[in-house]
Amino acid sequence: MTAPATPLEQRLAAHLQQLYPERDAAGLARECLQRLGLAADTPSPAPHRNLWDQSDIMVITYGDSLRSDSEPPLRTLSGFLEARLQDCISSVHILPFFPYSSDDGFSVMDYTTVNPSLGDWDDITAISRQFKVMGDLVINHCSSRSLWFENYRAGLEPGAGYFVEVPSEADLGAVVRPRTSPLLREVKTPGGERHVWCTFSHDQVDLDFRNPRVLLEFLGIIRLYLDRGIRWFRLDAVAFLWKIPGTPCINLPETHEVIRLLRLLIEHHSPDAVIVTETNIPNRENLTYFGNANEAHLIYNFSLPPLLINALVSGSCKHLKSWLMTMPPAQYGTAYLNFIASHDGVGLRPAEGLLSDWELQTLISTMQRFGGRVSSRTTAGGESCPYEINISLWDALRGTNARGPDQWQFARFLCAAAIMAALEGVPAYYIHSLVATGNDQARVDNTGSFRSINRHIWRSEDLEAALDSDSHHHRVFEAMRRLLRLRRRQPAFHPNATQYTLHTGEALFSFWRQSIDRRQSIFAIHNVSDQPQSVSLSELNLILTDQWLDLTSGETFENHLAQITLMPYQFLWLTNQSP
């Protein structure tokens, strides 16, 4: 006699029934639990738990962003993080560290092995003992040189039914594409010629989650990552996961169902685990990946990079402020992941509807003037249009639209970092932003990929020398470390603390944060222009009985009616309580 299904089995079966209505959902639920090593009676974690606080700051890096001749890159990275950033960050996102065939790691050949050129699993586990580690679950596609795809071409398992096949004559006109390459690739199989789906490139073949065997494979991979100390999971390109010809094949209901299913299983296995969805799409669509606090714990704030950079090079925060006012506060148990720069470029789709075509073109032209490149995508109508700007953040903030490069690069750069640190959400800083790495044009010439411009590889000895010398790298890095240490001590900067946008004109980007216990308030005021700007403290409605302190300078303000002038790109964090 079959035992009654537990609450976990029932919930899991409900998700599976939506995805695979022709399958035995109860039996498949038991297989899922077995793959993840979960008991059917595992208790559910409490809902709406904040698994983060104001001390949580992430660094984004490749496993070999730093290289040394004397040790594997992951060990070099570990040493750098411990020696230089131990008191500044809590988490590290190590970009794909697996054997790969292209796209700097995002064309995975083997999900179960660390790339030997980087190190091994012991190196990953060692880093996880010091920091929270976020790993990439490259879930939409795998390498054409993977065992799965080789088996597919030979008609063998595992792999024979793992990839999306469509007839060459299928109606794919509505499919949303992030690239300009042909969507389908011809492949010879024992059953004849087939056309497989390739959203990103012909070396990155899309996996078919309509086959539950693919889901089970990834549950086994997730279990391995959990066993090795990874607790944060970045679901790469997950918006494209489910394909139905005749639809846009992005943000489909089945994709959200898969995320809910993964969330259910992962948080039952490890209640401290976190799911982050990487969905480089317009803002309104991006917000749907929170679900009802039952999908992603964190979503990337993809609109922030283009809007913040635009504000700082145009001298106007009009669009940045308008966007911030429309952003709903994240429910407890969810949060925004804020970033300005990453291994990819500055996405332009998240700015759609927020910046006009003229403003986008002005931004693009300015970034090209500062050495940037522009990658394109193909629209549903078959036209090519800008998709992302490829540039290092240090060079992106070299000057302004109107005047070009100027003397305010350092101040502008630090202002950008401060805005991100103060906003609602968890801030994530790219390692090349922390050390102010410039455009790597030589790497672009070598690889032929525009994204290589912001994927410089430092010899660790050279970086250490630069950070210990009188260089802009040293100046930026020390300023960033001070800023991050300061941010980590402020309860009002908890990722879920209250936030209100203030109206202080187009040149001053200002907002108010209040700690969850309501004891600390911070008025964050940032001059985003290259001209001095004044603000009256009376405009901020400071509580007259409190003494107010600028955390960034230590200056106190007893005259609550005082007029304050901020120099170009200067910022103030005014608080009534300094921990």
255 with 155: CB under 8 angstroms? no
Is residue 10's pLDDT more than 50? yes
Is residue 317's pLDDT more than 90? yes
DSSP 286-340: HHGGGTTTTS-SEEE-TTHHHHHHHHHHHT--HHHHHHHHHPPPPPTT-EEEE-S
Of 519, 508, 522, 301, whose CA–CA distance to 422 is shortest?
522
Is residue 192's pLDDT more than 60? yes
User: Which H, E and C letters describe 42-77, residue by residue?
Assistant: CCCCCCCCCCCCCCCCEEEECCCCEEECCECHHHHH
For residue 578, what pLDDT is reported?
Answer: 66
Structural tokens at position 267? 């948080």
For the entire predicted model, the pTM comes to: 0.96
Is residue 81's pLDDT more than 60? yes
- Whose structure tokens read 């429309």? 326
- Whose structure tokens read 């502008």? 412
5 with 13: CB under 8 angstroms? yes
For residue 545, what pLDDT is reported?
Answer: 64
Is residue 542's pLDDT more than 90? no
Q: How far apart are CA 348 and CA 356, in angstroms?
A: 11
Lowest mean pLDDT among 147-151, 295-299, 469-473, 558-562: 558-562
Is residue 164's pLDDT more than 80? yes
Lowest mean pLDDT among 74-88, 196-210, 476-490, 535-549: 535-549
Whether 550 sits among the annotated catalytic residues: the reply is: no
Is residue 220's pLDDT more than 50? yes
Is residue 1's pLDDT more than 70? no
Q: ∠23-26-30 over CA atoms, to 5°?
A: 110
- Whose structure tokens read 């606080």? 53
Q: How far apart are CA 282 and CA 181, in angstroms?
A: 22
Q: Which of 136, 203, 236, 344 is catalytic?
A: 236
Domains annotated for the chain, with CATH where assigned, are 58-139+210-493 (3.20.20.80), 141-206 (3.90.400.10), 498-575 (2.60.40.1180)
C-alpha dist (Å) from residue 424 to 311, 329, 335:
18, 8, 8
196 with 237: CB under 8 angstroms? no
Structural tokens at position 376? 């394109």
Q: What percent of the chain has pLDDT over 70?
A: 98
Phi, psi of 138 (to 5 degrees): -80, 90
Q: pLDDT tens across 243-300, in order?
A: 999 999 999 999 999 999 999 999 999 999 999 999 988 899 999 999 999 999 999 9
C-alpha dist (Å) from residue 549 to 141, 313, 493, 579:
51, 29, 16, 11
Please, which residues bridge with residue 213 across strands? none
Say how far residue 276 (Cα) sits from the centre of its chain: 8
Q: pLDDT tens across 339-349, in order?
A: 999 999 999 99
- Contacts of residue 206, Cβ cutoff 8 Å, sequence gap at least 6: 140, 141, 163, 164, 196, 197, 198, 199, 240, 243
- Whose structure tokens read 């089995």? 9
For residue 559, what pLDDT is reported?
Answer: 75
Q: How far apart are CA 271 and CA 214, in angstroms?
A: 24
pLDDT bracket for residue 379 (50, 70, 90):
confident
Phi, psi of 422 (to 5 degrees): -90, -20
For residue 371, what pLDDT is reported?
Answer: 98
Q: pLDDT tens across 430-448, in order?
A: 999 999 999 999 999 999 9
490 with 551: CB under 8 angstroms? yes
Question: Counting Cβ atoms within 10 Å, is residue 224 exposed (0-12), middle (13-18) or buried (19+)?
Answer: middle
DSSP 149-176: HHHHHHT-TTTTT-B-B--TTS--TT--
190 with 155: CB under 8 angstroms? yes
Q: How many residues does the chain have?
A: 579
- Contacts of residue 147, Cβ cutoff 8 Å, sequence gap at least 6: 109, 110, 158, 159
